[in-house]
Amino acid sequence: MNTELIVALISGGIALVSAGFAMWGQFTSARLAADLQNLQLAEARRLEREKTVSRYREPLARAAHDLQSRLYNILAQGFMHLSAENKTERERSYVLNNTVYLIAQYFAWTEIIRRDIQHIDLGTEEETTKLARLQDNTYRLWQTDRFGSLFRVFAGEQRAIGERMIIETPRGPECIGYSAFLDQNLSEKDPLLNALREDVRECSASLEEARPRLIAIQNVLIDLLDFLDPNYVRFPKERRRKVGQ
């Protein structure tokens, strides 16, 4: 084999190897670019999910905390009994209207979540399913007939009360504040809220009848709080005692 042929074969081999390396480099670059794009998309989805969660998690947790706290005071601290002994109209009015408001506020935030995003996507199917189950438990406890008629609120009524309390703001839908609730006399104008007012009035004299339902609701609200704020960042552990345990 002459020298020129050998040189040509070597040159051809080098060219093939170089072409192979070039193709491998292009393939690797394309794969890295695709991986980077996928990571960027995943991060964007994560940030959007966190934004959505933070938008709804805290007000839902706040509404659950406020309501369970009031139920605890009613069930374990004699709140309704003491209110019946109050001599001032201001105190009686606060007990009545604020209790109705706290119930309606919770319905409002559950309705906002149902309407806007159906449920909070927490990133994993297990976590999301657990939250949906906790929310469903509260719907069920309000509407079941096994606790009698006092504080029985059907699922559609829960939604209707929630809708009545929702206002649109630049940040999106929110629940009206207590001041606006009082200014609009909502609990007197709306038949469903007025029914809640009557239940609160009756509860002061018939707490034992209301106790089983209110205990069950208070307990599941604590479970919801433990899920939404597991590290006790916003709501301290000592304020989350379940009645009956």
Considering 4-8, 112-116, 158-162, 187-191, the range whose residues carry the highest mean pLDDT is 158-162
Does residue 35 register a pLDDT over 70? no
Does residue 40 register a pLDDT over 70? no
Does residue 76 register a pLDDT over 60? yes
DSSP state of 222: H
In angstroms, rounded to a whole number, what is the distance separating the alpha carbons of residues 48 and 113? 16
Confidence of residue 180 (pLDDT cuts 50, 70, 90): very high
In angstroms, rounded to a whole number, what is the distance separating the alpha carbons of residues 141 and 143? 6
Q: What pLDDT, on a 0 to 100 scale, did the predictor assign at position 27? A: 72
Evaluate whether 74 touches 215 at the Cβ level (below 8 Å). Answer: no
Which amino acid belongs to residue 196?
A: L
Nearest alpha-carbon partner for 119 in 132, 108, 109: 132
DSSP state of 231: T
Structure tokens at 223: 């479970």
How far does the chain reach from its first CA to its final CA, in angstroms? 96
Find the mean pLDDT for residues 138-145.
94
Q: What pLDDT, on a 0 to 100 scale, did the predictor assign at position 95? A: 87
Going along the chain, which residue ranges are E strands? 166-169, 172-175
Evaluate whether 224 touches 64 at the Cβ level (below 8 Å). Answer: yes
Which amino acid belongs to residue 39?
A: L
pLDDT (tens digit per residue) in 102-133: 999 999 999 998 876 655 666 667 777 888 88
Q: pLDDT: is 15 or 58 the higher one?
A: 58
> Hey, CA dihedral for 133, 69, 76, 232, is it positive or negative?
positive
Nearest alpha-carbon partner for 67 in 208, 225, 186, 228: 225
User: By three-state DSSP, how is residue 168 classified?
Assistant: strand
Does the pTM surpass 0.85? The reply is no
Nearest alpha-carbon partner for 184 in 167, 201, 171, 170: 167
Structure tokens at 240: 């989350």
Confidence of residue 189 (pLDDT cuts 50, 70, 90): confident
